[in-house]
Structure 1
Amino acid sequence: MGVQIVCRHSDPVWHPACSVSTKSGLGGEARFRLRQAMQDMSRSGTAGELRLDALIADLWWRVRLINTDILEEEAKAGVFDASQPTYPLLALNLRARRDNLVSTIGVLEQRARSMSEAA
């Protein structure tokens, strides 16, 4: 028989125990240990916390990139005051996007804190 990957998790997170290739003739005890390891990992919540932390870090990186883009647009136009009528439209749009990302990050950080306190 062929090789199959055993995973009964409904979430798309990578689980180390799920990446074990097994032959279909895997013994009952080994199957039990594999299933137990997968259940322990899904209950721990650490995978979700790690994903959330990675998402937050990625969003902060994007905020820094947008800040750089805003500064470049302001420098090109020679206008640094957003209230000026000659302020670049792209910089205004980037500011709005950055502000939305920062707001989203705040919500995600609050969720991460509540997850860590609950654990």
Structure 2
Amino acid sequence: MDNTKVYKMSFAGVYPHYINKVEKKGRTKEEADAVICWLTGYSQQQLQQQIDDKCSLEAFFAEAPQLHPNASKITGVICGYRVEDIEDELMQKIRYMDKLIDELAKGKAMDKILRK
């Protein structure tokens, strides 16, 4: 499958959808940011800079300080695919982020989402 279109999507374009999704379910932007920062290693300021720069999802993950060592503990189905079985490394990272936002929106406790 050609994922080039997804990789070229702007993180700034996807981000408001994440925030909208969690806020509709009673969670906060701050919680969503915490989850994204946990996964990517970005600080809050660095995350905001990525949004301001309108970088692609590909660049967002390429420039991420460090994927969290527990990211491999993120399992389950998102968009019909098991995240742990996705072979394309970049697509797996994108789906990890989708899965974390999904768990947040579903009311899962932060310590469970952050795989502590």
Alignment TM-score, normalising by the size of structure 1: 0.23
Higher alpha-carbon Rg:
1
Normalized per residue, the structure richer in helix is 1
Alignment TM-score, normalising by the size of structure 2: 0.24
User: Higher relative contact order at CA 8 Å, sep ≥6: structure 1 or structure 2?
Assistant: 2
